[in-house]
Structure 1
Amino acid sequence: MSAAFVGTGRLVRLAVRRDRVQLPVWLAAITIVYAISVSSLKGLYPAQEDLHLIAVSSAVSPVVLATNGLVSGDSLGAVVAAQTLLFLALAAGLMSTMAVVRHTRQNEETGRAELVGANVVGRRALLTAALIVVAAANVALALLLTVVSLGFGLPLSGSLALGAATGAAGVAFAAVAAVTAQVAEGARAANGLAGAALGVAFLLRAVGDSAGTVDPGGVSVTSMWLSWLSPIGWAQQIRPYDVDAWWILLLFAAFTAATTWTAYVLTGRRDHGAGLVQPRPGPDRAATWLPTAAGFAWRVQRTTLMWWALGIAVLAATYGSVANEMDNFLDEEGAVADMMKQLGGGADAITDAYFAMIFLMMALFASGYAVQAVLRMHGEETSGRVEPVLSTALGRVPWMLAHIAVVTVGVIVLQVVTGVALAVSYGMTIGDITGPLGNLLPVALAFVPAVLLVGAMAVLCVGVAPRRASSVAWGVFAVWLIIGQLGALLDLPQAVLDLSPFVHVPALPAADMRPLPLLVLLLVAVATATAGVSAMRRRDLVVQ
């Protein structure tokens, strides 16, 4: 073995031990969501006529192609691939980028890499170990998806192709993260660059698929060339359960090899702990608000909020722009329309049910921000950066309350962005830009108490279980997400549905406004956050 790779095996075992909870949670969550999706689709389209209708309808809709994925065939497996493969590729890519950055750049930030490097460890061993672990996780994900597909009676070849497409996309973005970890100065910047690459890949695929042409059969779409510039586009071009184009895996192999080689080259051309792109110097004097608790919390949290707001604005505007087409796209008595009405609180009008469903989904995204932002505060503690801050006159409680206040404001901002983006984009399609704003903005704000309760639960995890805060907080969020998004379709008992805060929010605009449940959610959120702050005040700081 080359001296640059000495110690890789031991670092692999160390990475596996460190990720013994996080990666299994990722794998389980993705697999469960996929299984629920397949089960729902199998129930929604029991006959071949139903499958043919949804394939034909999706193939001629640029919006469906952009947001759901490439249509290729009208069998049950082909419909499953069209509805789920985009999500699977994005989830695998996100899992992979975060894991690679965690085991490379974050290790350098926290000083772990320096301690490891004091032993007999090669220059490229840390990066190699991270890539091996992430590649193994993607192989496991591919096998799990294949087993689930076979469990629902889907063909073997297509099931293998779907699993391979998902795993290949995850490995490709792991290689991308390996490069961003060398370029960026810190873990947050590296994750941001990798996330931006994931977003660009999604947009290239979305434009390429929506601008494609429908084949003569009417159930398959030939994408424009832009889709072939995206690893996510490659995953869909495999066309599981239809073409099963295995040769596209060669594109993934070539891309991953070239990107990984680039990361290795960059590893040898930068100093330990530094990125190739140096951060620009700050101003000579700090702003007057920066030395305050709230000002410092805002400085730490503002980049996270900015990216979430941008992503939510784009997504909400996309969904708002197609709301007026729902009546034409869906059969009023069809299975998809029934599903949408069920998720939308039982509304009679498809448009109202659509908005209720979209507002719930956007609130779940905002909840993801709340969890990430609270855990960003926890990251300040575990990295040791908060100790010098708390050695001053600033106490733990004011420091924590400042971060909670910033997260609260961030949640409100994201919900306002959601309401405005949806209302304006919908208004543009009906010729009244500002008209829907008065009706849709209050709907977005109605979800604020539920989102704040998700963030408050993360605060409680930080206070009570600091060493498992991330896993527990994301795990609770995942459970609430599944209950809130799919509980009605799965016919879960009411006692289980009541566990999710989103179930208690009125399904506006389909339902009537009920202030009492929102007030109760807000009070529970305050009590939960208070318990978290109290627990934090009584325990020792944790540095990992």
Structure 2
Amino acid sequence: MTGLGSLVRLALRRTRWFYLAWVLGLAAVAPATATAYETVVGDLAGGGVLDVMAANPTMRGMLGPPTDLTTAGGFTVWRVGTFAATVAGVMAVLGVVRVTRADEEEGRTELVRSGVVGRHAPLTAGVVVGLLACGALGVLIAVGMTAVGEPVVGSAAFGLGVALVASVFVGVGAVTAQVTSSSRGARGLGLAVLGAAFLLRAVADAAADDSVARDLAWASPVQWMALARPYADERWWVLLLPAALTVVLVGAAFALESRRDHGAGLWAVRSGRSRAREGLLSTGGLAWRLQRGGILGWLIGLAVFALGMGSLSGSFDRMLQELPQLEMVFRRLGQGADQLVDAFFVAMLAIVSVLVAVLGVQLWHRLAAEENRGHAELLLSTAVPRTRLALSHLVLAVVASTALFAVFGALLALPESLDRGDASVLADSVGAALALAPGGLLVIGIAVLLHGWAPQLGWLVWVVVGWSLFVVWVGSILGLPDWLVRLTPWHPLPALPVDPMAWAPVLISTAAALALMALGVWGYRRRDLRLP
């Protein structure tokens, strides 16, 4: 491990702002939710109302298994604990791939290894820094929950559980960095594993108590923090599961690194065709060829999630019939309890609208990746104008993200439509998705503007996305000021069918998005290329 200390310091230097933003943002969610407990729940905590709500299959599928909902700590673990652990897993995968496979792909690792550095030192440095970030997140969560008055033991279990679950995905990121030959593939595979674990957890939690499927929750790493039961007779032995799995995955990553060539992955890159297909003779065809795998993965993931959540939507009506007092809870949670099924569709579309915006930004940022690697320079050295190259990626980002969001809306309402025998439910859900689509287009417009005029500030678009996801997931229960909640691209848009249709904000947001895109493409035409 010669040179490990220097490489750890280098990795910390290069990823300090990345990890700092993730850790501070996630660490603030838990104590903020705990302080809002009395406002949200109030005198309903001891009446069994929350227990009935937590036993609902849809609520369990969305939020995970409840522990003790009569305390602020137990409510926080149920309401945001699984969310925090899952998002921390995203941080871990992206962070590890960033300093391992991405650096190797861009040639940095080769330069480092030309010095006196051990073969496994770069991978070790990436893993160590990732584990340090996960540990820091766990400590801040534990300290924050203790600071707002929650028991020290439960807070320690909560923080340690989130840290260890995130550490599992440090190992996942390290393994995928050895399996694939590109950073894009490593990120996609790592996030696919995380998505599968979350989906497995959701299916298991939504199953009946006496169902065999309920036991599948133990197979999902993102569930282990909740199964440790923070604030409710903690089961410390459960936390040995993520710790052991992390050790196994990290060990596997080192073993796999010993078996592959530098710059290559265990999955060999297939040889290309001797002659290019006609579709590759255009910039649009090339953009599609580069992005089609990711788009297909998103389509499959969104389709499975939509059908799974849509099949559970009918349980809301039964829950409200069993306990009408739940209307008060849902009003406090900002879900609009007058029509629970409609409110459920609105909540799902609001969350996925932000996730689909992530897809759109990723598709657009492929142009930045091609520019950084020198591929764009090669294309532009031919008769291809800059505007055509930029539009080929931009059009794909806009069309793919909007189309996938509409498909999600249709599949989300499909079970309800079949149950009622009414196709209008499906049409209404698609319309609700399209009404929110301009928010995603506005995010893409911000990304295009930044890349066109200040590519070094392209990370700012992720601040917009992260804040929007925070607001849509937990903003309603934190009592944030209205002006702060409104600072998302989706806030002005109508949330159909709970809100009436309003064309003005839809058209204004669309026009603003198109203006930002046009201004960004113009800036891209005028500035110098960023050379590798």
Q: Tell me which interval the TM-score lies in, with the shorter structure as reference length.
A: over 0.9
Q: Deviations over 1:463-488 (max 9, x none)?
A: 23322312x11012223334455555
The answer for the alignment partner of 1:501 in structure 2 is 489
The answer for the alignment partner of 1:246 in structure 2 is 236
* C-alpha distance in 2 between matches for 1:508 and 1:137: 40
Aligned length: 528
Q: Does 1:109 align with 2:105?
A: yes
Residues 106-185 of structure 1 aligned to structure 2 (within 5 Å)? 106-185=102-181
Q: Does 1:432 align with 2:421?
A: yes
* C-alpha distance in 2 between matches for 1:74 and 1:486: 17
Q: Does 1:194 align with 2:206?
A: no
Q: Give TM-score scaled by structure 1 length.
A: 0.91
Quick one: percent identity of the two aligned structures?
36
The answer for the alignment partner of 2:432 in structure 1 is 443
Q: Does 1:62 align with 2:57?
A: yes
Q: What secondary structure does 2:383 align onto? A: coil
Q: Note closer, same or farther for the CA distance 1:207–1:502 as it changes in structure 2 (3 Å cut).
A: closer
Counterpart code for 1:515 = W
**Which has the larger displacement, 481-490 or 153-162?**
481-490
Counterpart code for 2:444 = G
- 1:50 CA displacement: 4.8
Q: Note closer, same or farther for the CA distance 1:504–1:57 as it changes in structure 2 (3 Å cut).
A: closer
Counterpart code for 2:166 = G
Q: What secondary structure does 1:107 align onto? A: helix
- 1:386 CA displacement: 1.9
* C-alpha distance in 1 between matches for 2:239 and 2:110: 37
The answer for the alignment partner of 1:387 in structure 2 is 377
**Counterpart contact for 1:484–1:503, Cα < 8 Å:** no
Counterpart code for 1:369 = L
* C-alpha distance in 2 between matches for 1:241 and 1:168: 17
**Counterpart contact for 1:343–1:485, Cα < 8 Å:** no
Q: Does 1:271 align with 2:264?
A: no
Q: What secondary structure does 2:137 align onto? A: helix
Q: Does 1:339 align with 2:328?
A: no
Counterpart code for 1:172 = V
* C-alpha distance in 1 between matches for 2:338 and 2:52: 25
* C-alpha distance in 1 between matches for 2:376 and 2:34: 45
**Counterpart contact for 2:351–2:473, Cα < 8 Å:** yes
Counterpart code for 1:308 = W
- 1:355 CA displacement: 2.4
Counterpart code for 1:259 = L
Q: Note closer, same or farther for the CA distance 1:158–1:463 as it changes in structure 2 (3 Å cut).
A: same
- 1:92 CA displacement: 1.3
- 1:118 CA displacement: 0.9
The answer for the alignment partner of 2:41 in structure 1 is 45
The answer for the alignment partner of 1:407 in structure 2 is 397
* C-alpha distance in 2 between matches for 1:257 and 1:498: 43
Q: Deviations over 1:97-148 (max 9, x none)?
A: 1111111111111111111111111110010000000000001100111122
Counterpart code for 1:54 = L
* C-alpha distance in 2 between matches for 1:269 and 1:533: 44
Q: What secondary structure does 1:447 align onto? A: helix
Q: Give TM-score scaled by structure 2 length.
A: 0.93
**Counterpart contact for 1:400–1:533, Cα < 8 Å:** yes
Q: Does 1:229 align with 2:219?
A: yes
Q: Note closer, same or farther for the CA distance 1:151–1:469 as it changes in structure 2 (3 Å cut).
A: same
The answer for the alignment partner of 2:447 in structure 1 is 458
Structure 2 residue aligned with 1:354, among 344, 354, 359? Answer: 344
The answer for the alignment partner of 1:89 in structure 2 is 85
- 1:41 CA displacement: 3.8
Cα-Cα RMSD: 2.4
- Structure 1: where are the runs of 5+ without partners? 215-220
- 1:537 CA displacement: 2.3
* C-alpha distance in 2 between matches for 1:128 and 1:431: 56
Q: Deviations over 1:331-361 (max 9, x none)?
A: 5553332135x345xx733333332232222
Counterpart code for 1:537 = R
Q: Deviations over 1:249-304 (max 9, x none)?
A: 32223222222111111111110000111023333322212121111111222222
* C-alpha distance in 1 between matches for 2:104 and 2:420: 54
- Structure 2: where are the runs of 5+ without partners? none
Q: Note closer, same or farther for the CA distance 1:288–1:23 as it changes in structure 2 (3 Å cut).
A: same
Q: Note closer, same or farther for the CA distance 1:398–1:38 as it changes in structure 2 (3 Å cut).
A: farther
